Every structure is written in C-alpha cells, then in structure tokens.
C-alpha cells in the first residue's frame, strides 16, 4: 500500500505547477483557515498574532459584499451573508477601509486572503428593503439598483424545467443550473453584462490584495459561464492568476460531477468528510483509504478537502467541534496526510442552526478576545487554535510533495512518515511505541506540544514515540526542509529580568536598562561560524535602502564604547559575507558587503565598500519577494514582498548563549524601540533569550524573521 501511495502522490507536485487557477500565492504553504463570520478588524489581529507565526497559507473570509439584513427571533442569521444586494464592500464584518487594512496586514505577515464569493444569485424571493451599504432592493421585481441588475439579468421562469421554478431535480443539469436554488434569484451568468459585473467585483478585490476566491454554489453555474468570468478576471499585482476553489457538491448522487470544473481551479471534495468521519470515529486504520478514486473522488491535485464547513456542521453530516476528540483526530490526520489542498474550520458555538455569530446587544458581531491559555472567548470556538490542529499547519507545509510511507495501524496507534521530512502518529488514548520514523538521526521538537516534548531518532530511523500530554494523543515531527536538517535538543536559559528604572544613557540602541548582573566579556578560544539569516519586513520606496546594526549592547558587556576599535570591541560580532548572487539586483549589497567584517552598532567600518560613491550605513540587506518572476526572489522568503535579508556566517561564540541584538535603519532613520516581550514563534524560539532588550533579539545559526517596529518574530532552523 505504501509504495502505491508514494508513486501516486509524488505526481501531485508537478501537476500543481501547470494549472493556472491552482496557485494560492502563499509561498508553498499548505493550509487555509475559514474564520467564519469574523470581523475584518479581528482577522487582521489574528493574522499577526497567530496565523502568520504558525505558518498558515491564508484565511477564507465571509462574503464581503453588501447583503440583506434579516432579523428573526431577535437575531440576525448567518445565512443573510449569502443574500447579496450589491457588490459594494460593506457587510456585517466591516466596511471597505477595514477590509483593505485587513488584507494588507495579513499579506504583510505572509497570510493571503480568499473571499467567499456569492455570484450565482442575489437575495431570495419575497425580500425587499435596504442592504448593509444602504442600497435598496426588491427581489420579486428582480431589482437590485446597487449593481445594477434588473429582471433581464436573471434566469426567467421559462428557462427552468421545474414545476415551481426551484432546483428540485439533481439528475437534470439544466434544472440544477437554471432554476432558483432555495428561492434565491438566479443570475443569467451567460450574459456578458452579468459576467462583467461579477469579474469587476473580483477585480476590485484583487486590486486591494485579495489572492483568490471560493465560489459559492459553483455547482449551480454552467462551467462555460464560470470560465468566461474567470477569463475576464485580472492577474494579481504580483503576477499569476488568482486562486479559485469551487463549491461543487458531488457525492455520486446527481448529474453534476466535480471533473467538469477541474480546469477552473480546485473543487471541494464533499466525499472526504464522510470518509474521514468513518475512520476518526471508529477504526483508525480505515483512514488509510480516505481517498477512494473508485467512488469518483477528485484526484489529489484537484481536491479541496476539509473535515467540516459552515454548511455541513449545521446538517449533522460531518464531524464538528461538538465531537471533541474525534474531530481533533480527523483534522490532525487530514493535515498529516497528503490528499488534496486543506482548509480547517474556525467556528462559534451554536445550538440553533440559523444562529448568527456571537453578538452584542445591538446585534453587531462581538470581538474575538484571546484568553491566557491561547483559546478564544466571547462564544468563539477557534478550532484552528487547538494544538493538534494549529500546530499541524507547519507540518503540512514542511512535508509537501512527499509520499505517505510505512502506514501502520497497530495496537490502536496510527502512524506513518512523509518521505524523510516528517513523521506523524495518533491514537484514541495515550500511547508509547517504538517505530521507524523514516527520518534522519537527530532530536526533534514535537510540534503538537510546541517543543515541550523532544523525540530522539537513532541512526536507523527508529524512535520511542509518545505524546507529551496524554489528553492530546498526537505526535508530529519534521526535519524543517532538508534531508539531514534536524532540530537539536536545547536547554532554555532563564530570562534575566531588567529592573524598571529609566532608559540608559547609551547613544546607540540597546536594552532599556542593564540586567541585574553584567557578564564580563571573555574572548572565545575558537571561532564558531554558522550561517545566520536576518529578515526584516519593511515596505520601502524606490531608492531607499535598509541596513542593520547590532551585536551585544554595551550595558550587557563591560569594555564596549564608541571609541573602541571595531575589531577589539567586545560588543561586536565577527561576520563573513557570502555572495548571494551576481545579478544586478544585488550590486549594491555586494559592494557594501566588502570589508564589512562585524555586526556592530556603528556605521561604515574602516575599509568597507561603497556603491556609486555612497558609503554603507551598517551591514547591508537586500530587498526580497516570494514571487519567482521577480529579480528579488529568494527561496528564504516564503512570506511576501518587502522582506529585507542579510545572509551571512556569524561567529556564534561571540554571542550571549546564541543570542544577539539587531535593529534596522532605512536611509539613516533608526527603527523605533521594540516594546513588550518578544512574541516569537518557530522551532528556534524554544530557547529564551538570556536578557531583555528594546532591540530585536536574534539567534545565531537560525533564520530570524522580524517586522519593522514590532515584537512579533519567527526563529526557525535553516
């Protein structure tokens, strides 16, 4: 079985690269989360504080267009969002300015936004009034002046082969696509005018940074009409076609088949939730056959998969958050396996299937506060933050393109490895097994426990595997992107808390105060150069350059002063630049790197190179993007545009327990002080810095990703 899976799924990586609407534009990351009914302001915060650091590809957001406002039993139901009034960007989740701010903030931390697009229909018959943006409408008259649409833009009763004009015969494609779905006014998408309005809506969202779309009720639209609409949709500003995934419910129970839409993007695979429920709820071994091509399931390079969505969790047909442990098993397995492109659900608690999101007294949507334990409050479930779910996003990305090998279900424990890049195990109860992981020898952080547990793999690939928390019976380890790159066990050093006195008198950036004890500098007996990467996300304008300065602040080490020679200053750290590229994009950084032998707090070192007569202002960085078509593309950048990179060898023996300080300058202007404790994620953040600082604290030998002026960071093995 393993060999068959390996051969079949290794094809997937090549298939994705040639299909125009299948690229999610998130740097190879593999997991989307649906933040169902969240406000734009709250999504922006979640991108910055959780989704970006955890390595999520993107977020599917609720429909942002103007919709009907419906009040029933003192509540506004969730489904009012699926009753469009116009394509104006004002909805229950917020206005256009808030939407744009959210999209840009999420994109800045490597999280793309995908819009749930309701374009098959407008609001249902029997409704009239004013929408969320103030547009009037009358559904019975087919009058939607906010677009505008009139009666001529909708399928007529004569177009529909049903007795009541509604969809009621799924064996007839014309009935499914030309009749009114549950009374919703069905647009005539074959009209060029309607196509222009829908593509114009898509284009307006692309202009503000949206990367793609979930097409709601795509099954009820003719593929040729969808193709015409997509053809009129523009490329993304960074290049490439927008990402599309289409809602096509095909359970071998009607005339509409998923393969009719394959050329238009991914297609939702509604048979997968049924298959994964069968395994996660009973015999875990059945999960080995969740992909059943004999049942008509879409191939892996076309299937958009999920355990539940906002519809199925209200139909009691799939596992949901209400199923607790079974649900965790289903989602964790989905993210560990290699079938399809994945989305996880993030819900709110409900008992009434029509209930809208948690609301205030005025029926507005509540904020999503985060409790001290990382879970959500105010009635939000936030399944994506559950450890066996949120921590698997990194796993899914790290093992992308690998096969499922050594699939086992023995003594109640399911386990398999993903090539030589990852290993996963789970059970209904806590477990301890000795198993071949398929990974190189080393010691690895368990992702589920967020590195509280370490797994030692011997030279034969064997390991004693058990979960850190018996109540969370999962283990997941990865090699972090290389055949022989492992995560070593490290011992955290205690954080030295600085007293709360005022700022020190140092002219250069440094800690707000000195630590309680100062460690005298002792020169290293031997050098310990390791490749180290600093990335600073900062949007700049043409002609601007970014440099970094740093080392150890002089309040931390005696003997440092502005008058010290660069080489003898104990706060400076030796570095060795390497030529990243000789293309024109790197001319400046290559010129400025000559003679730059230390990371220090000063400007240009004696003998340091210049570019066209302009001296260096520290250690130079180069501008990068994750767009392969751009001259600034770097494989280190899996986040987006405007990430400045310094890639050098650093003498780790001159750091403080592997840590050092760094701060950026843009055209001579210093980055502001970094307020608050570092909010770092990544496997390299398992070790705490030995002291506090108002600068970024980076780790030698790792990739350190910072955001200009922010305490958020990611520290990952190279």
Q: Would you please indicate which residues are annotated as catalytic (active-site) residues? A: 216, 247
Cis peptide before 278 (omega within 30 of 0): no
Give Cα separations from 285 to 412, 416, 505, 650 (angstroms). 9, 11, 65, 48
| Angle (nearest 5°) at CA 417 between 412 and 422 | 125
Two tokens, residue 256: 């509409």
Handedness of CA 672, 674, 680, 684 (dihedral sign): positive
Distance, in Å, from the CA atom of 652 to the CA atom of 337, rounded to the nearest integer, reads 38
**Tokens 């969790």 label which residue?**
313
The answer to whether 65 and 89 have CB atoms below 8 angstroms apart is yes
* Burial grade of 69 (CB within 10 A; 0-12, 13-18, 19 or more): middle
Measured in degrees and rounded to the nearest 5, phi and psi for residue 398 equal -65, -30
Do strands 619-620 and 546-551 pair parallel, antiparallel, or not at all (unpaired)?
antiparallel
As a dihedral over the C-alpha atoms of residue 171, residue 174, residue 177, residue 178, rounded to 10 degrees, the angle is: -140
Distance, in Å, from the CA atom of 22 to the CA atom of 524, rounded to the nearest integer, reads 52
DSSP 241: P
Instruction: Spell out where 100-208 has E strands.
Output: 112-117, 121-124, 128-130, 136-138, 184-186
* Burial grade of 556 (CB within 10 A; 0-12, 13-18, 19 or more): buried
3-state secondary structure 392-449: HHHHHHHCCCCCEEEEEEECCEEEEEECCCEEEEEECCCCCEEEECCCCCEEEECCCC
Measured in degrees and rounded to the nearest 5, phi and psi for residue 259 equal -70, -10
């Amino acid at each position: 079985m393993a060999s068959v899976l390996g051969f079949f799924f290794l094809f997937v990586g090549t298939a994705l690269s040639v299909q125009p609407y299948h690229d999610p534009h998130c740097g190879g990351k593999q997991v989307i989360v649906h933040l169902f009914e969240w406000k734009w302001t709250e999504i922006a915060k979640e991108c910055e504080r959780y989704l970006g650091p955890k390595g999520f590809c993107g977020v599917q957001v609720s429909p942002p267009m103007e919709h009907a406002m419906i009040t029933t039993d003192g509540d506004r139901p969730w489904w009012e969002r699926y009753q469009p009034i116009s394509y104006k960007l004002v909805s229950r989740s917020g206005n256009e300015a808030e939407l744009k701010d959210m999209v840009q903030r999420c994109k800045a931390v490597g999280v793309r936004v995908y819009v749930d697009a309701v374009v098959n229909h407008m609001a249902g018959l029997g409704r009239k009034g004013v929408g969320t943006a103030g547009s009037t409408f009358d559904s019975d008259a087919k009058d939607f002046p906010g677009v505008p649409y009139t009666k001529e833009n909708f399928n007529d009763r004569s177009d529909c082969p049903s007795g009541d004009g509604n969809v009621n015969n799924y064996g007839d494609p014309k009935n499914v696509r030309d009749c009114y779905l549950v009374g919703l006014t069905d647009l005539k998408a074959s009209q060029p005018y309607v196509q222009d309005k829908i593509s114009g809506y898509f284009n307006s969202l692309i202009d503000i940074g949206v990367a793609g779309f979930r097409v709601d009720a795509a099954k009820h639209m003719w593929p040729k009409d969808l193709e015409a609409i997509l053809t009129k949709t523009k490329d993304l500003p960074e290049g490439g076609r927008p990402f599309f995934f289409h809602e096509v419910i095909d359970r071998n129970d009607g005339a509409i088949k998923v393969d009719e839409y394959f050329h238009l993007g991914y297609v939702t695979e509604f048979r997968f939730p049924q298959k994964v429920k069968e395994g996660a709820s009973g015999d875990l071994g059945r999960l080995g056959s969740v992909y059943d091509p004999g049942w008509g399931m879409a191939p892996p390079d076309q299937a958009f998969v999920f355990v539940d969505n906002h519809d199925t969790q209200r139909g009691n047909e799939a596992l949901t958050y209400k199923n607790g442990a079974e649900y965790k098993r289903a989602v964790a397995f989905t993210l560990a396996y290699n079938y399809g492109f994945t989305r996880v659900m993030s819900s709110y608690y409900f008992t009434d299937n029509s209930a809208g999101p948690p609301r205030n007294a005025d029926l507005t949507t509540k904020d999503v506060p985060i409790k001290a334990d990382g879970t959500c409050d105010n009635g939000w479930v936030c399944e994506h933050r559950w450890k066996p779910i949120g921590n698997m996003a990194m796993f899914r990305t790290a093992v992308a393109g690998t096969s499922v090998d050594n699939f086992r279900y023995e003594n109640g424990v399911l386990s398999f490895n993903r090539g030589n890049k990852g290993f996963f195990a789970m059970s209904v109860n806590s477990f301890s097994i000795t198993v071949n992981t398929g990974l190189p020898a080393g010691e690895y952080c368990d992702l589920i426990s967020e590195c509280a547990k370490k797994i030692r793999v011997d030279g034969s690939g064997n390991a004693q595997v058990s979960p850190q928390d018996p109540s969370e019976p999962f283990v997941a380890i990865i090699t972090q992107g290389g055949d022989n790159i492992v995560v070593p066990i490290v011992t955290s050093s205690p954080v030295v808390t600085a007293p709360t006195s005022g700022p020190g008198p140092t002219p250069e950036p440094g800690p707000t105060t000195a630590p309680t004890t100062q460690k005298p500098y002792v020169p290293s007996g031997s050098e310990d150069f390791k490749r180290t990467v600093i990335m600073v996300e900062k949007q700049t304008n043409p002609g601007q350059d970014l440099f970094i300065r740093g080392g150890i602040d002089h309040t931390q080490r005696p003997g440092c002063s502005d008058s010290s020679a660069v080489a003898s200053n104990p706060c400076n750290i030796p570095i060795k630049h390497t030529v990243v590229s000789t293309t024109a994009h790197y001319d400046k950084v290559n010129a400025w790197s000559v003679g730059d032998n230390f990371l220090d707090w000063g400007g240009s070192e004696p003998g340091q190179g210049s570019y066209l007569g302009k001296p260096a202002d520290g250690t130079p960085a180069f501008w990068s993007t994750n767009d392969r078509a751009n001259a600034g593309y770097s494989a280190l950048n899996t986040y987006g545009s405007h990430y400045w990179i310094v890639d050098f060898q650093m003498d780790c023996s001159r750091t403080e327990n592997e840590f050092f300080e760094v701060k950026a300058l843009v055209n001579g202007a210093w980055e502001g002080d970094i307020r608050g404790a570092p909010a770092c994620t990544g496997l390299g953040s398992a070790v705490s810095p030995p002291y506090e600082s108002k600068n970024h604290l980076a780790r030698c030998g790792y990739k350190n990703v910072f955001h200009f002026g922010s305490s958020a960071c990611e520290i990952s093995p190279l």
